[in-house]
Structure 1
Amino acid sequence: MVFSMSMTFLLALFWRGVEELSLRKMQTNLKRLLAGQEVVQVADPDLDASFKSLSGKLNLLTEALQKAENHSLAQEEEIIEKERKRIARDLHDTVSQELFAAHMILSGISQQALKLDREKMQTQLQSVTAILETAQKDLRVLLLHLRPVELEQKSLVEGIQILLKELEDKSDLKVSFKQNVTKLPKKIEEHIFRILQELISNTLRHAQASCLDVYLYQTDFELQLKVVDNGIGFQLGSLDDLSYGLRNIKERVEDMAGTVQLLTAPKQGLAVDIRIPLLDKE
């Protein structure tokens, strides 16, 4: 009986040693596989089958990640191309047209200089001055959008403060900013910062506003970004009627499982209220 118990004990130790050895080999092979190196064959048939199954799943995951990365790059290139076309269109619709109008007025003045009285010439020159001032402001707006502030190592609040300071320096907008934010996940900070940049760009291009108020409030479960201007507003219709910038904002918010509400009417300004759930504090 003692012999039987000893044999049982020795067999248990033997199989435990085999299992530990096989598992160590399996772990080694997994590490080699992840490093892209050739794997060593595992002796145990069952563990070998398990390893092959894990290897196959890992290959599938790798392929899926590669496809996702390629899709992300394609989307990024598409966004860049759309942005290039939008900037070219904005240059044509604003600065180019304004400079053309100024050129036509100046050309008329030069041809009629001897026939125009002093008062009429002064009126036309004032028109040219106003057009050039508008063109200069529109060009500053486009440059602000082309060379956006980056978060880099700054917090979201620091980045917003720098962005709004630059906005006040380069435009006629009166800007206010109120916030109570403590710590946010980096990914949410980046998304919110890009959304605010897009909202500011939209205000500068379309709103004809003199004031812009930015609110950023955080609770245990939610982040709220609210941006309000006193511009011309618009008749709110379907999503298809929104500008490319506002549609892009909606897509970004939905990517974070958030919601966005627009409150506007002709001559009543625009309020954009964005809510993002805070499920992960890391």
Structure 2
Amino acid sequence: MKFPEHFFEEIINYAPNGIIIMDKDRTIYYMNESAKLICGWKIGDSVPYCSYCQQREIEEGENRCILAVEDPVPFFHSHMAVYSGIEEEFEMSLKKMNSNNEDYYILVLRSPVENEISKKAKFNELLVQETMLAQEAERRKIARELHDHIGQSVYSIFLGLEGIKPYVNNKTYESHLSKMITGMEKTLNDIKCLSKILRSETVDHLGLKDALYEAVQDWEELYKIDIQFIMDTKINDCFEREKELHFFRIIQEGVNNAVRHGKATSISIHIKSSNQYIYFHIHDNGVGFDVKTKKSNGLGLKHMYERSKMLGGAIKWISKKGGPTKVEGFVSIYKNEGDSEYESADC
């Protein structure tokens, strides 16, 4: 049995999700009735970019839409301007089609709904959050052990070697002793840097912004790399202390991955805010990686993803073998007590 074509059009119009067909310039060719009710746009209008894509830092020739890039995410939560600029939150998906050698995009919009699956996801997020808090407690414990015990023991050995230095007259032993003292001095500096990386007190004492500036200096010294760091935002007091720490760890893990796995020698970090979001962009000159394989196996990437979700945001890796690698994402800024919180966006 063959259905008449107008049946399919009626089915599409009956669909609760907004369905829009647009060209590569985002000009609307078709809209179903749900899309018209949801957005208030008309055929011939240009579909605006969502609030996240408007802030993306893109390379020359790269599509600004996060759903239209190579290896796109299957769906995306963000805000989009509708009805004379009012922003609404949507879950969006995009499918590229080709007709008569022309590219078209099918954009599907739907309002986020809470069901048993989303409740289970929230429970899992809480479980992950508790796990990460336990990890932070363990980091602090290890940092104290490094500083109070191992660091003090190494320092005692260093002082002992310095103490016997005047009594060594043999040239060969003098050379060995000098190398040992230099090695101990380097070890002390490494312990100091590692302790600062592990512990979270820097964020607690300095605030997120100053902690990041100090951390960049530590990373340059520890990893022997060049880091260009730009922060176009008054980031302090945006989060609770716990959330500040999660954001700090996202940036820290991004740098760690670039150096240890990507063998990068140069990294640029750009952080800026717009409306209710803080956007971050980490770009390195490393050897790159296969995103699909690494995302399923990489523990560090999973931690970055989970922390971004906990902060009501999203994160994406754009890379290939041979490099470079770009990490981009955003987190939601929560208002101070007494103000309403912005809706979170999730990928």
Q: Which has the higher helix share?
A: 1
Q: TM-score, normalised by structure 2?
A: 0.40
Structure with bigger gyration radius: 1
Structure number having the greater strand percentage: 2
- TM-score if structure 1 supplies the norm length? 0.49
